Amino acid sequence: MTDYSPLWSPIRIGATELDNRVALAPMTRISATEDGHATERMASYYRNFARGGFGLLITEGIYPDTAHSQGYHFQPGIATEEQARSWANVVDGVHAAGSKIFAQLMHAGAQSQGNRYVTSSVGPSAVAPKGEQLGFYRGEGPYPVPSAITLSQMKEVRDGFVTAALHAQQAGFDGVEIHGANGYLLDQFLTDYLNQRDDRYGGSPENRVRLAAEICHDVREAVGPDMTVGIRISQSKVSDAEHKWSGGVAEAEVIFGTLGATGIDFVHTTEYRAAEPAFADAEETLAALAKRYSGVPVIANGKLDDPETAVSMLADGSADVVALGKGALANRNWPHLVRNNLEFGELDPAVFAPLADVKDWELEDG
């Protein structure tokens, strides 16, 4: 019989003490008010995962500024003090239920599908993301070609992340996760075919990771040692599920080594299957590579809803925490079920239809 005890051992990540190693992965739910305020429905949604035994919750992507960062209509923001205050109720409910919560700060860049502040988008270069926008996030049609972001706009992006992190601190969040994954702005800089710049932010992996590293450093400095800071990294994207880093392990070494040197407390990797090798010519998972080269604790995400697979990531040392997405939507009390050897429920596809928002049936206590 599998020993699941590694899932339940406490861990400290930065300034945050977690009671166990099971986290809720960030998932876009587009259930805020039109002006980006968190709602009581959202507070109940997150509170249920805390009651279900998840040691850490990471929020859906929250937009950090009132320029180009918003990615979806009805996405929550934390760009203004009013938006930040709306999150306090969410945070308080999670804390009262015994869990910790990090705010994920997300700049959509060229992958924006809806922004109430501007009608244009920016990216590292004037190259549109692949694929089509997602209907269940209120998107429609191909992604438009973005404007190539200027150096002054990049400084505004950096400042926006800092302001958002300070707002998250004021709202009571235990930490922040900088979104550098899934095809959003910082991942666009990491991606060779989307980043065609010829300045110090383009070309080599050292240059392409530069903006993400600068933001990690800025946020780390701004919030001080009492707040946990990390970054999420992936190869695949909302708009390109098949993408892999062309430089393989050598590129992973540069990316994770550079990010780990910024003073952050963790790296959160997400793959389609976290337990599979990151590259065809290498045996290690992306989480294991992040662990080796960053030197900081690693959260792993990607098809880890089977507890045996989840615990294997911890047991072999490739990750320190496992994060569940769809597995958590199907079973908001996944940790409780595993601890007590109870059966899982199946994921109801209606959770993504017609919109991927918070559904009323998700709010029932239990």
117 is catalytic: no
User: Hunting for tokens 């990491």 — which residue is that?
Assistant: 190
d(CA 230, CA 246): 24
Indicate if the alpha-carbon torsion angle 191, 244, 323, 60 is positive or negative: positive
Token reading at 271: 């793959």
d(CA 203, CA 26): 30
d(CA 121, CA 111): 8
Which member of 45, 63, 72, 184 is catalytic? 184
Q: Is the CB of residue 79 less than 8 Å from the CB of residue 123? A: no
Among 146, 143, 58, which residue's Cα sits nearest to residue 102? Answer: 58
| Three-class secondary structure of residue 322 per DSSP | strand
CA of 341: how far to CAs of 4, 7, 313, 334, in Å? Answer: 10, 14, 20, 10
Catalytic residue positions, numbered: 184
